[in-house]
Amino acid sequence: MTVKELENQLLALNLTEKAEAIQILIRTLSNGSLGITKTPGVVGGDACIAKTRIPVWSLVNYRRLGANDAHILEAFPHLTAADLVNAWAYADAYPEEIEQAIQENEEVMLEAEDI
């Protein structure tokens, strides 16, 4: 397949399919971690959007609570659609890590309510 043939096929996709294609490409290029950083001592070493202190798990949790990408981008105006694609790709690549981080945060919040 040539790049031109691929381009024609990509242009024929609907928006959802295009987003899925982008996620596949990102995973292929970076194993799901492009634009995601983990820095010891920053946000507990959790995976974050690069150059921010926004953990991937918090965006995943926000989405689980009903926020769509447009709402998330509105709430975090300095993030881009590419940042969210990177976050979703990372979450897909490391679901156990993300689930554990969400559970740990919920436990901390419950403990804080008891104080």
State the residue range of the domain holding 102: 3-114
Domain count, the chain: 1
Residue 32 pLDDT exceeds 70:
no
Structure confidence by residue, pLDDT tens digits, 37-95:
999 999 999 999 999 999 999 999 999 999 999 999 999 999 999 999 999 999 999 99
User: Residue 87: what pLDDT?
Assistant: 95
CATH of the domain at 20: 1.10.10.10
Which whole-number Å values give the CA distances from 1 to 4, 7, 13, 26, in the listed order?
Answer: 8, 10, 17, 20
Residue 25 pLDDT exceeds 80:
no
Q: Is the pTM of this model over 0.95?
A: no
Residue 21 banded pLDDT, cuts 50, 70, 90: confident
Residues 15-54 as b/e (b if ≥16 CB within 10 A, e otherwise) read: eeeebeebbeebbeeeebbbbbebeeeebeebbbbeeeeb
Structure confidence by residue, pLDDT tens digits, 80-99:
999 999 999 999 999 999 99
